[in-house]
Amino acid sequence: MAKLKIRENYHQARWDEPIIYELSTPGERGILVPQPDKEIKDSSEDVLSNLPEHMRRKEKPNLPEISQKHVLAHYLHLSQETLGSNLNNDISQGTCTMKYNPRINETLATLIHHVHPSQDEDTMQGILGIYYKFKHFLKEISGMDKFTLQPGGGSHAVYTAASIMRAYHESRGELDQRDEIITTIFSHPCDAATPATAGFKVITLFSDDETGVPDIEALKEAVSERTAGIFITNPEDTGIYNREIDEIVRIVHEAGGLCFYDQANANGMLGIARAREAGFDMCHFNVHKTFGTPHGCSGPGTGALGVRDHLASFLPIPTVEYDGNKYYLDYDRPESIGKVRGFFGVAPVVLKAYCWVMMLGAEGLREVAEISVLNNNYLQKKVEEIPGVKTWYAEGRRRLEQVRYNWIGLEEETGVGTDDVMRRIGDYGIQHYWTSHHPWVVPEPFTLEPCETYSKTDLDEYAAVLARIADEARKDPEFVKASPHKCASNVVANPEEFNDPDKWAVTWRAYLRKHGKK
Amino acid sequence: MKLGFIVNPIAGMGGKVGLKGTDGKEILEKARQLGAYPESPKKAKKALEILIPFMDEIELITCPGTMGEEEAIELGFTPKVIGEKKATVGPNDTEEAAAEMLDMGIDLLLFAGGDGTARNIYNVVGDKLPVIGIPAGVKIHSAVYANHPRNAGEVALKYLKGELETIREAEVMDIDEEAYRKGQITAKLYGYMNVPYQRQLVQSLKAGRPEQEESAQEAIADRIVSEMEEDVFYIIGSGTSIRPIMDKLELPNTLLGIDIVKNKELVASDVGEKQILDIIRGQKAKIIVTIIGGQGYIFGRGNQQLSGNVIRMVGKDNIRIVATKDKVVSLMGQPILVDTGDDEINKMFNGYARVLISYNEEIMYKVKGF
Amino acid sequence: MDKIVYPYIPNSVPEIKEQMLKELGLDDVEDIYAEIPEHLRFKGKMDLPEPLLSEYELERHVEAILARDKDCKEYLSFLGGGTWQHYVPEVCDTINSRDEFLTAYVGAAYADHGKYQAIFEFASMLGELLDFDVVSTPTYDWGMAAGYAMRMAVRMTGRNEILAPKTMAPERYLCAKNLCKPTIEIKLIDYDEETGLLDLEDLKDKISNKTAAIYFENPSYLGFIETQGEEISKIAHDNDAISIVGVDPSSLGVLAPPSHYGADIACGELQPLGIHMNAGGGLAGFIASRDEEEYVAEYPTQLWGITETTREGEYGFGDVSFERTSYASRENAKDFLGTQTALWGITAGVYLALMGPEGMRELGEGIMQRVSYAQKVLGEIPEIKVPLLSTVGFKEFIVNFDDTGRKVSDINRSLLDYGIFGGKDLSKEFPELGNSALYCITEIHRKADIDRLADALKKVLA
């Protein structure tokens, strides 16, 4: 058994790294640009003089001038000041499903670096085939009939679902009447935000205080002839599975609405339960969460959106099809909502996800689900043993792949709240944890999702670190509140500057100007 | 930074012995006889304790004895004490202290008490000064109180450090204790005070930018105005979430009372129950209400004019509840309350209702009628 | 076969699994899944291929599939039209494949300090290229950025119409159009078929007090440079509308930035800045503007700002989380955001740091010289018209094949035999331009490459 160790002597790299402009020395070059052949140079007149005077750049852009070694070193330093998921016990970012991102998939993805998406289809049979097969995997996993992989992230896929719902009701001449989307308070915020972007009114069902899920009576009160559909996450971020999910779908269908299943929390469900059996019309997966592709500091990712047959005609163009011989891109889809992203999606992410599934197969995917659920329940037991931690709602019910805990007890006892513990955890080499989406319905929340990537020792270490911090909070609350002490930087001194138009600075030039530097 | 600190040391004494408030000398005596002991100083200390790390930068101004001085000294502060120590403390003492502090130009007033204390402070301070209440009384209907003593301290600390710039108006409400003790509840809205206001400014990656409270109120008002129907009487309740509706309509607003609007014109101001009934009888009418005070009431506190009879005549389907999302969430899952004194009407509300929280957003929320 | 222990699932070791279950007092994980009602359980078996358990098998499998593809290294490519083949400096790949950046997500500013700084620097350098003080964190792509920018303008002005040229990139138009539905209408403005330039008369006809913004692109999708930027912005401003310009930043070493001809908001594509084409997966958008409250308040994306930490002299970063305040148009108030393209933003920053001012100028000038040469060489081929539009362009230009009697798709298929990807077929997107293709030349093209194209075209058309 691997040794359980709290990394007491951890210290993150701290390079005190200058801003890139401060590394600049006039005249230095980071890379030389390939020059046109001599004949080209000689034969072309001064091309810039062909530009109208007012369209010509007058002064060179103020970019830094740095030799290559120093650019590389700068960014290596910055990378070391970033706590990537592959480096740490990243159970913390609950709802984000921080998995191990296999190196081999990165290497294989370089094989499509130089493919242009407008190449002749005959020259892209490989990557188009991978799209097609991966969509087949998702159909099996969800029970949906057709998928698009065009959206560039989870919210983007949910937005695409909202667009499709709009197109569906429009096609039936009911859009003016059906202008309300229902969601729940613990569904992901994008389940409210994207239908709003698509022009719908949003009705949010609050959770029942005891069960942690909305009362079915609230839903019955909410549906009407104005209902366009529901956007719902299950399990929600509380980790509680809503057992009435098929009843919810039935009620919305009866009212004439469509049902979208936000499957950002699908990791514990692979091979266990599917959107189809619960009766949904659409569902999505965050490919960069559930299917093991890297998050890239927040993208590029991929949101896979699946629909049942009656909605297939609305999917964005092009769809990737197979005629028995050849994979091809189908643009001829008159009912399509159009596009949500250029070309046909984030191909390297799709390729990596394909690789990830290929190494697991059906049995392996089920193992992913089972271990993620087991890990979560095991961690929950360890974390709940820490005085000051509680789990809100639905006592006695088991959570699936994540749990929303709270530090209300610790906060009341010591004044050290969830934000303080969150910062202190960084001092033990662990990424800060996810508290909760806004608003905090549960006070002092934190959300952990120990997916299948983490070992028993990881889970034990994590719980031991939380217990240690709770202890510290009792002995020396000010020390915990002043954390982090050993991270790449300290906390900002005056966060209110970010809300002050005279102080905020999104670029270096704005900083120099507003803060009287230079 | 000058911080005023007033403790109503007798607030909360009635609660433990079932007396529903301590307004009035005799009741206080009775409470003492029943074995009540001061709750308020303890709670006030819990709040003030939060300010200890910031002690050197605060000029603490307080009242003698248990009205603040003792609590402050116990925590290691060296307060400046105004006024003279008295054997017994009464409402006048709170008002006198508040007035003196106002003159001294304090930056914030932190006070401990209940609804009666809030009223005393309001009488003197009005909207001239930011205040924050430490909940210590039996009756806490006023929204000027934090939901926990420690939170009051935290808000005060952040405000003094300049980390909280947002101020919102919060209701000062009080119940007629005499009637309350006889089992009748008549809560009245007395006015609004300015309270520094803490909220999560963290931008959610998935939900977009947070919406400002005032902006949400504006959005609510826009929605209400945009859906106003012709020839319908709109009975406009009181509360901060409602006021922007009258502003949008450019109509004078009765801050503490009920106005009636039809075709975007003012029909009547500050109406009582009877007047409302006379105006809407046989006509189509709608009521716009919001959550008033800190406990989640939409009817029965601060708007007695909207009686069971008025609601019956208007019809439940013609009631529009509005509130900002922050306000709804601050109920912590507790239901919205209805207590009109009319059982039949109260019960009618049991279940779920839509609360308009922004231009295009509603929350389906639990309602409980008494 | 024994129970498989998966390398990515440490607790798939049977003894460990058992031990954990035991600690929970459970016999089986099924005891946890009892949370899901029986009738909602999936009873079937997923029809998935047998797994390739070893990494080696996977590698062989994927390599075999992708061996069916050709790419722009193997073939000589003249494709552009939304994603372009530029040289990607090795340092860009080195940095974006570091596990620290590659696998980070939404970590806090003190533990992900480097990520915040890298994105802040990206915004700073792009801001210099654009001469704007505010640059968003990277968004999905140019099309989505354009749509977001239009929605910003709608919120700011309280108006619901956008004017855009008919030459707007069709894919970007479809993205923006969907994002603007159902309340915002994009009206298209005519262009001059000789020059490609926006028809100012039509613009003046269509602009009204309903117009929230005029959007145009530079260089345009069809390659030409919209030289009337100043006039267009003025027409917008005279009507209290906002001027939005979509821009390819690889041109900005030589072209004036949109802010210099009146743009209030710029948006565009980062892929040319050190990001591989990745079969279209390299796209990443941006939005930029002046540093004015009313603009900053309407950004749908995150904005990351710089300040100081509690330690003297240490930079710290965080979200400029200015709350939404303006509600000029409530029905369009809300945007969504989520996981977008941060890693490509970091990469673009590395690229700009390597290139420096001199590099960006040489890049732009060198591309325009090659284009000039290519147009000359291709122009010598009888029966093809090049360039079709008379306005000067940047890295793309239209070749018209009407007089050859052959369809572009035909010609392009023939070019494949010569190992060449011809220019993008425009005949479906712009039928009014006839049988035309959009050719793209960048710094990766040498004289020999251009000559090879000309030779191949001669043979194909012979």
Classify burial at A358, counting beta carbons within 10 Å of its beta carbon; exposed 0-12, middle 13-18, buried 19 or more.
Answer: buried
Query: Is C380 among the domain residues?
Result: yes
- In the three-class reduction of DSSP (H, G, I as helix; E, B as strand; rest coil), residue B5 is classed as strand
Query: Is C5 among the domain residues?
Result: no
The tokens describing A515, both together, are 């803060």
Inter-chain contact A496–B202, Cβ cutoff 8 Å?
Answer: no
The tokens describing B60, both together, are 């603490």
Distance between start and end Cα atoms, chain A: 56
Q: A-chain residues within 8 Å CB-CB of C354?
A: 30-31, 66, 68, 71
Strand duo C134-135 + C285-289: pairing = antiparallel
Inter-chain contact A56–C109, Cβ cutoff 8 Å?
Answer: no
Which parts of chain C register pLDDT below 50?
A: 325-328
Domain assignments of chain B as residue spans, ordered by start:
2-196, 213-369
Q: Considering only the beta carbons, identify the residue of A107, A120, A298 that sits closest to C340.
A: A298
Q: Say how far apart CA C187 and CA C197 lie, in whole Å.
A: 16
Q: Answer whether A155 touches B (CB < 8 Å).
A: yes
Q: Closest Cα to residue B130, out of B170, B91, B94?
A: B170
Q: Say how far apart CA C347 and CA A78 lie, in whole Å.
A: 13
Q: Say how far apart CA A474 and CA A480 lie, in whole Å.
A: 10
Residues 102-121, chain C: which have Cβ within 8 Å of B?
106
The torsion angles phi and psi of C74, rounded to 5 degrees, stand at -75, -45
Residues 387-406, chain A: which have Cβ within 8 Å of C?
397-398, 400
pLDDT of A518 reads 67
Q: Which chains touch B (3 or more CB pairs under 8 A)?
A: A, C
Q: Say how far apart CA C256 and CA A56 lie, in whole Å.
A: 5
The helix (run of H) or strand (run of E) holding residue A38 is helix A38-43
pLDDT digits (tens, 9 = 90+) for B70-119: 999 999 999 999 988 777 777 788 999 999 999 999 999 999 998 899 99
Q: Considering only the beta carbons, identify the residue of C300, C330, C331 that sits closest to B208.
A: C300
Q: Answer whether A516 touches B (CB < 8 Å).
A: no
Q: Considering only the beta carbons, identify the residue of B210, B361, B365 that sits closest to A202.
A: B361
A67, closest residue in chain C (CA to CA): C354
A413, closest residue in chain B (CA to CA): B150
pLDDT tens for the 518 residues of chain A, in order: 899 999 999 999 999 999 999 999 999 999 999 999 999 998 877 899 989 999 999 999 999 999 999 999 999 999 999 999 999 999 988 889 999 999 999 999 999 999 999 999 999 999 999 999 999 999 999 999 999 999 999 999 999 999 999 999 999 999 999 999 999 998 988 999 999 999 999 999 998 888 999 999 999 999 999 999 999 999 998 999 999 999 999 999 999 999 999 999 999 999 999 999 999 999 999 999 999 999 999 999 999 999 999 999 999 999 999 999 999 999 999 999 999 999 999 999 999 999 999 999 999 999 999 999 999 999 999 999 999 999 988 888 999 999 999 999 999 899 899 999 999 999 999 999 998 876 677 889 999 999 999 999 999 999 999 999 999 999 999 999 999 999 999 999 988 899 899 999 999 999 999 998 86
pLDDT of B33 reads 74
pLDDT of B87 reads 72
Q: Say how far apart CA A247 and CA C331 lie, in whole Å.
A: 32
Q: Answer whether C3 touches B (CB < 8 Å).
A: no
Within this chain, do residues C338 and C364 fall inside the same structural domain, yes or no? no
CA–CA min distance B155, chain A (Å): 14
Range of the domain at C379: 76-85+358-461
- In the three-class reduction of DSSP (H, G, I as helix; E, B as strand; rest coil), residue A111 is classed as helix
Q: Report how far apart, in Å, the C-alpha atoms of A466 and of each of A1, A6, A425, A484, C7 are.
A: 21, 10, 7, 14, 27
pLDDT digits (tens, 9 = 90+) for C426-441: 999 999 999 999 999 9
Within this chain, do residues C378 and C341 fall inside the same structural domain, yes or no? no
Q: Answer whether B206 touches C (CB < 8 Å).
A: yes
Q: Answer whether B165 touches C (CB < 8 Å).
A: no
Q: Given this structure, which CATH class describes domain B2-196?
A: alpha beta
The tokens describing A210, both together, are 């005891």
Q: Report how far apart, in Å, the C-alpha atoms of C3 and of each of A362, A364, C13, C16 are.
A: 14, 11, 8, 13
Q: C-chain residues within 8 Å CB-CB of A106?
A: 97, 102
Q: Answer whether A279 touches C (CB < 8 Å).
A: no
Q: C-chain residues within 8 Å CB-CB of A163?
A: 178, 181
Residues 177-206, chain A: which have Cβ within 8 Å of C?
190, 193-194, 196-199
Ranges of H-type helices in C181-261: 200-206, 229-238
pLDDT of A208 reads 87
Q: A-chain residues within 8 Å CB-CB of C87?
A: 33-34
Which region holds residue C427: left if phi is over 0, alpha if psi is between -120 and 50, else beta?
A: alpha
Q: C-chain residues within 8 Å CB-CB of A78?
A: 113-115, 117-118
Sign of CA dihedral A254, A259, A265, A267: positive
pLDDT of C345 reads 98
C-beta separation of C373 from C447 below 8 A: yes
Q: Answer whether A477 touches B (CB < 8 Å).
A: no
Q: Report ipTM (2 d.p.).
A: 0.97
Query: Is C3 among the domain residues?
Result: no
CA–CA min distance B178, chain A (Å): 34
Q: Which chains touch A (3 or more CB pairs under 8 A)?
A: B, C
Block residue for tokens 């060179």: A60
CA–CA min distance B214, chain C (Å): 8
A496, closest residue in chain B (CA to CA): B163
Q: B-chain residues within 8 Å CB-CB of A208?
A: 366
Tell me the longest C-alpha to C-alpha distance in chain B: 66
Strand duo B361-369 + A201-205: pairing = parallel
Q: Say how far apart CA B156 and CA B50 lie, in whole Å.
A: 9
Q: Considering only the beta carbons, identify the residue of C23, C41, C284 that sits closest to A272.
A: C41
Inter-chain contact C16–A456, Cβ cutoff 8 Å?
Answer: yes
C-beta separation of C281 from A347 below 8 A: yes
pLDDT digits (tens, 9 = 90+) for C400-409: 999 999 999 9
Q: Say how far apart CA A194 and CA C337 lie, in whole Å.
A: 9
pLDDT of A346 reads 98
Q: Answer whether B349 touches A (CB < 8 Å).
A: no
The helix (run of H) or strand (run of E) holding residue B346 is helix B343-348
pLDDT of B209 reads 52
Inter-chain contact B209–C327, Cβ cutoff 8 Å?
Answer: no
Q: B-chain residues within 8 Å CB-CB of A214?
A: 364
CA–CA min distance C455, chain B (Å): 53
Give me the count of residues in chain C: 462
A191, closest residue in chain C (CA to CA): C336
Q: Closest Cα to residue A406, out of A418, A424, A393, A420?
A: A418
**Which residues in A129-154 are b (16+ Cβ under 10 Å) and which e?**
bbbbbbbebbbbbbbbebbbbbbbbb
Q: Given this structure, which CATH class describes domain A108-361?
A: alpha beta
Looking up residue C248, the CATH number of its domain turns out to be 3.40.640.10
- In the three-class reduction of DSSP (H, G, I as helix; E, B as strand; rest coil), residue A232 is classed as strand
Which parts of chain B register pLDDT below 50?
A: 200-208
C-beta separation of C142 from C217 below 8 A: no
C-beta separation of A378 from C24 below 8 A: yes
C-beta separation of C175 from C204 below 8 A: no
The torsion angles phi and psi of A457, rounded to 5 degrees, stand at -65, -40
Q: Say how far apart CA C20 and CA C26 lie, in whole Å.
A: 9
pLDDT of B199 reads 56
Q: Say how far apart CA B370 and CA C174 lie, in whole Å.
A: 55
Q: Answer whether B226 touches A (CB < 8 Å).
A: no
Q: Answer whether C321 touches B (CB < 8 Å).
A: yes
Q: Answer whether A222 touches B (CB < 8 Å).
A: yes
Query: How many other CB atoms are there within 10 angstroms of residue C68's CB atom?
Result: 15
Within this chain, do residues C453 and C380 fall inside the same structural domain, yes or no? yes
C-beta separation of A293 from A353 below 8 A: yes
pLDDT of A389 reads 97
Q: Report how far apart, in Å, the C-alpha atoms of A257 and of each of A193, A248, A307, A313, B251 are.
A: 18, 11, 15, 18, 40
pLDDT digits (tens, 9 = 90+) for C45-62: 999 999 999 999 999 999
pLDDT digits (tens, 9 = 90+) for B145-176: 887 788 889 889 989 988 777 788 888 988 77
Q: Considering only the beta carbons, identify the residue of C20, C111, C344 that sits closest to A378.
A: C20
Q: Answer whether A273 touches C (CB < 8 Å).
A: yes
- In the three-class reduction of DSSP (H, G, I as helix; E, B as strand; rest coil), residue C381 is classed as coil
Q: Answer whether B169 touches C (CB < 8 Å).
A: no
Calculated CA dihedral for residues A496, A501, A505, A509, nearest 10 degrees: -150
Q: Closest Cα to residue C9, out of A142, A461, A365, A376?
A: A365
pLDDT of B200 reads 43
* Domain total in chain C: 3
CA–CA min distance A73, chain B (Å): 30
The tokens describing C124, both together, are 């700073």
Inter-chain contact C322–B205, Cβ cutoff 8 Å?
Answer: no
Inter-chain contact A203–B365, Cβ cutoff 8 Å?
Answer: no
pLDDT of C412 reads 98
C34, closest residue in chain A (CA to CA): A398
Inter-chain contact B360–C330, Cβ cutoff 8 Å?
Answer: yes
Residue A273 DSSP symbol:
B
CA–CA min distance A415, chain B (Å): 8
Residue C135 DSSP symbol:
E
Calculated CA dihedral for residues B124, B129, B135, B139, nearest 10 degrees: 40
Strand duo A327-330 + A390-391: pairing = unpaired
